[in-house]
Copies of this chain bind each other. A is one copy, B any other.
């Protein structure tokens, strides 16, 4: 099975994009990429990032196009372009104002994490000691995201907050990029309790290829990774799994520092790394960039997934999830 034969959706990348990298992603067979446009950015800063993306859409109109509805994914495929979905890894662009959720939706944001590692105004992050769960503002925000059709993403959130988001949200939520803690016990990975509740509520897990989320880190083998997918599919159901590679490309260390320390730390926070090895981790040899998706398909075949299941994991499950998640909620009065 070839990357060009099937729909490939990567539900998280953070890349310093340029024409060469868009072309590489096209060669790699990508159809849709959920791109991160905020870690700690406030409203003004994220609008600047969106302006930069709009420039990309103009300059590279032959390669990429924005996805604002699930139907746009078909348009992108028909036109042989990569569809780009805007997502926030934090609720920082919304600042303290629930009405900014709708503004951000108008500007194209379709996925938002409620917290990024730290406590946010909406939920607790996975690196905090204690977890206050979904806050008063968080409950209002979830309702608003449900109404608009903005996907709630709990990838970097803490356990109780995540369980509560699943419970409170009237629409299924996503963990766009993380792995089970049974595969690798990292604060960023997810317990069986979370994965069970996620799957029972028809939510989605995107499995991550970021080395800190992998057993043996950069040395994790393709077979080990695909076996993890197999086990997780057994546990959650084959329809609940997709790819959220967390592929980070072409950034220098200052960007990683921003991701880790934002404006809240006075001395560097090393996040998943440490003072001895502060910089970007090395990707596994079999997934260095957007050309690695063929290896993933081959690896999934090798652990005896059917072609049909591979299609689901590589893109169809995310497509179905977007088809039900992106439409706004019908008006109660209509």
Chain A residues near B (Cβ < 8 Å): 40, 42, 92, 95-99, 118-121, 124, 127-133, 135-138, 140, 143-144, 160, 262-266, 269
Contacts and interface: CB of A to CB of B under 8 A. Distances in A.
A266 B119 contact: no
Given A98-B264, A140-B264, A265-B140, A128 B132 contact: yes
A218 to B, nearest CB: 27
Given A119-B121, A137-B119, A263 B98 contact: yes
Contact of A119 (B119, B160, B263): B119
A274 to B, nearest CB: 16
Nearest to A131: B132
Contacts of A266: 98-99, 140, 143-144
What 7 pairs across the A-B complex have the smallest Cβ distances?
A132-B132, A119-B135, A97-B263, A137-B264, A130-B132, A130-B133, A118-B136
Given A121-B120, A130-B131, A96 B263 contact: yes
A136 B119 contact: yes
Contacts of A40: 96
A130 B134 CA distance: 9
A129 B140 contact: no
Copies of this chain in its oligomeric complex:
2
Nearest to A120: B121
5 contacts: A42-B96, A95-B263, A98-B263, A118-B137, A119-B135
Given A128-B132, A144-B266, 5 more contacts: A96-B262, A97-B264, A99-B266, A119-B137, A129-B133
Nearest to A135: B119
A221 B131 CA distance: 41
B130 A136 contact: no
A37 B96 CA distance: 17
A261 to B, nearest CB: 10
A264 B130 contact: no
A133 B118 CA distance: 12
Given A130-B132, A131-B130, A92 B98 contact: no
A264 B131 contact: no
Contacts of A120: 121
Contacts of A92: 96
A137 B116 CA distance: 12
A264 B136 contact: yes
Contacts of A143: 266
A54 to B, nearest CB: 25
A110 to B, nearest CB: 21
Contact of A124 (B96, B132, B140, B144): B132
B127 A136 contact: yes
A264 B132 contact: no
A135 B128 contact: yes
Contacts of A129: 132-133
Contacts of A269: 136
